[in-house]
Amino acid sequence: MSDVRVRIAPSPTGFFHIGNAKTAVINWLFARSRGGTFVLRLEDTDTERSKPEYADIICEALHWLGISWDEGPDFAGEPQAGDLGPYRQSERRDLHLGEAQRLLESGNAFKCFCTKEELDAERERAQAQKRPPRYNGKCRNLPAEDIDAKGGAPFAIRFKVPEGQTILDDMVQGTVKTENKEFDDFIIVKPNGDPVFHLAVVVDDGLMKITHVIRGDDHLSNAMRHKMLFEALGYDVPKFAHLPMVLDEHGKKYSKRLHGANLLDWRDDGYLPSTMLNYLVLLGWTPSEEGRELFTPEELIDAFDETRLGKSAGKFDLKKLQWLNGQHIRMMSVEALCEALLPIMKTAGLDTATKDEAWLLRMTEICQEKIPTLNDIVPYTEFFFNGVTEYEEKPVKKNWRKEGVVERMDAMLVAMESVSDWTADALKESFTALSESMGVGLGQFTNPSRLALTGKAVGPGLFELAELLGRDEAIRRMRNGIAHIQALEPQA
C-alpha cells in the first residue's frame, strides 16, 4: 500500500448530496488507483442539525455506490476501522483545543477579548466607510500583563495571519496566489470554547496524515487559511485539489430542493450504482481514451488519472445518464438483472410467484435491451400479469384508425392461429411472410398487434412477448383488439 491518504468528511445534517457523492467518488478512485488509504470522517460538530439517522444515510449511500472505506467511525452497524481516530469530529474537541493552545504558545495565535458589541460596531463603521469589514487587530499584540489583567473574561482565539503571500499549487485549479494582507486575523476558537471549522479540519487532516485534500472548489478560498494553519502547526502540507461543482441541467448550482440532489433519489428511480459511479466521475474527469464514456468500477480504477480532472463545472445531463444506465443494464447477467427486477415488480403488485424461474429469466432477457431504468420493468411487463382493459389513446389513433387495419388484423389472427410451433422465431417468420404476401411493411402488422397484446405502443419485442403470453392468451387478446377497432366511432 502506498502512503497516499485521502478523506471525505461529510456532515450528517441531511441527505447525501450529489456533489458530496462526486467528491467521494473522486477521492475513492484516487486512493484505489494509487493503492492508498480512503478515510471517512464525520464532521458532526453542528449539534443542532447533526442526527444519527443522517449518518446512517451517508453509510447507506456509500454502500449503494459500492464505495468502501479503509478507516472510519463506527456507525450504521459498521465497526470503527483505523488507528488515527476518533473519526467523528465531535469526539476530537480536546485535540483541536490542544493544538490551539500550541498555536498560542508559539505566538501564531492570540487571545481576543473584543466583545460582540465592539465587533458589531467596527463592522458598522466599515460598512459606513464602504470598506470590507475586518478585524482591527486590537488584541493582536496585547502585553502579557494586560492579558493577565483580564482575569476570567471570555475570549476567542484568533490566528495571527503572517505577512507575505500564500501560494497554493492546486492539482485542478493550478497555481493560486493570495496576499496575506487580504485576510484578517481569523477566529479559530469561539469565546464559548468551540473550535471553528478552519482549525478542526486542519488538525484532523494533519493528525490523520492526509496527503491529498480533494474537495469542492467552494473551499478554495478556505484553502489559503488552511495552508497557513498547516504550516504554523508544523504539519506536512497536503496537496490540494479543488473540484468544480455539479450544475443542474439549466447550468445552475444543483439546488437541494431539486429531485436528484439526494443521491438515493437515483436508486429509488431505478438507476444502478455502477451507472452513478460511472456518471459522477465523468462530471469532473475526462478519460485518456478519447470518446469513451462507459466503464465498470474496476475499469475506472484502472483508468483513473488525476491529471485529467477538469476545471469546468459538470453540467448534469439526464439523457446521458439514462443512456449510460441502459448500457450498464445490458452489461449485467440475465440472472443478476432478474434478481434486481423482481422486488420492483412485486412492490408494484405484479404477482411474479405465478411464473416459474425459466419464464422470469426469459422475461428479463427480452426486456434487457429495452429498459432504460430498473423501474421501467413495470410498464414493460405489467400486461403479462394483468389483462388488457384499455388501450393507449395515441397509438390507437396512429395504428387502429388506418384504412384496412381490420383486414390486416384478421390476417394476422389467421397467421397466429396457423403457427404450429409457438415460438418467437416461428411467429416472426409467419408475420414476415404475411407482410410480403400483402405487399405491406412489417410495421403495419407488428404495431397494431403489439397494441392488441399489451395495450401499449412500447415494450419488449412483439414476437418474444407473444411467445411468453402463450398461444391462447395472445389469440384471445388479438380478437379483443379487433372487436375494439370495430367498435370505434368513425373519424369525422
Give yes or no for a contact between 6 and 37, defined as CB atoms under 8 angstroms apart.
yes
Give a yes or no: residue 134 inside a domain: yes
Give a yes or no: residue 327 inside a domain: no
224 and 159 fall within a common domain = yes
293 and 434 fall within a common domain = no
Give a yes or no: residue 48 inside a domain: yes
Give yes or no for a contact between 360 and 329, defined as CB atoms under 8 angstroms apart.
no
pLDDT of 492 reads 44
99 and 75 fall within a common domain = no
169 and 59 fall within a common domain = no
CA dist 137 and 430 (Å) reads 91
Of 352, 385, 418, the residue that ends a domain is 385
CA dist 35 and 475 (Å) reads 60
DSSP character for 245? P
432 and 480 fall within a common domain = yes
Give a yes or no: residue 322 inside a domain: no
Of 202, 221, 243, the residue that ends a domain is 243
pLDDT of 127 reads 84
Q: Which domain holds residue 369?
A: 338-385
pLDDT of 491 reads 57
pLDDT of 1 reads 65
Give a yes or no: residue 330 inside a domain: no
Give a yes or no: residue 263 inside a domain: yes
- Report the CATH number at residue 458: 1.10.10.350
Number of Cβ atoms within 10 Å of the Cβ of 130: 6
Give a yes or no: residue 82 inside a domain: yes
Of 188, 208, 243, the residue that ends a domain is 243
- The per-residue pLDDT string of the chain (492 residues; one tens digit each, 9 = 90 and over) reads 689 999 999 999 999 999 999 999 999 999 999 999 999 999 998 888 888 889 999 999 999 999 999 999 998 788 999 999 999 999 999 999 999 999 999 999 999 999 988 888 888 887 888 888 889 889 999 999 999 998 889 999 999 999 999 999 999 999 999 999 999 999 999 999 999 999 999 999 999 999 999 999 999 999 999 999 999 999 999 999 999 999 999 999 988 889 999 999 999 999 999 999 999 999 999 999 999 999 999 999 999 999 999 999 999 999 999 999 999 999 999 999 999 999 999 999 999 999 999 999 999 999 999 999 999 999 999 999 999 999 999 999 999 998 889 999 999 999 999 999 999 999 999 999 999 999 989 999 999 999 999 999 999 999 999 999 999 999 999 999 999 999 986 654
Closest Cα to residue 63, out of 19, 27, 12, 16?
Answer: 16
66 and 181 fall within a common domain = no
> Exposed, middle or buried: residue 451 (CB in 10 Å: 0-12, 13-18, 19+)?
buried
Condensed to tens digits (0 to 9), the pLDDT of residues 285-304 reads 999 999 999 999 999 999 99
- Is-cis flag, bond preceding 86, omega within 30? yes
Q: Which are the contacts of 177, defined by CB distance < 8 A and separation ≥ 6?
A: 165, 166, 167, 168
Q: Which grid coordinates are listed for 124?
A: 458598522
CA dist 265 and 261 (Å) reads 8
Q: Could you give the residue ranges of the DSSP H alpha helices within 283-347?
A: 297-303, 318-331, 334-347
108 and 217 fall within a common domain = yes
114 and 172 fall within a common domain = yes
Number of domains the chain is built from: 4
52 and 152 fall within a common domain = no
* Type of residue found at 387: G
Q: Which grid coordinates are listed for 353?
A: 410467484
172 and 184 fall within a common domain = yes
Coil/strand/helix, residue 187: strand
237 and 256 fall within a common domain = no
CA dist 481 and 409 (Å) reads 9
- Report the CATH number at residue 177: 3.40.50.620
Give a yes or no: residue 116 inside a domain: yes
103 and 208 fall within a common domain = yes
Catalytic residue set: 256
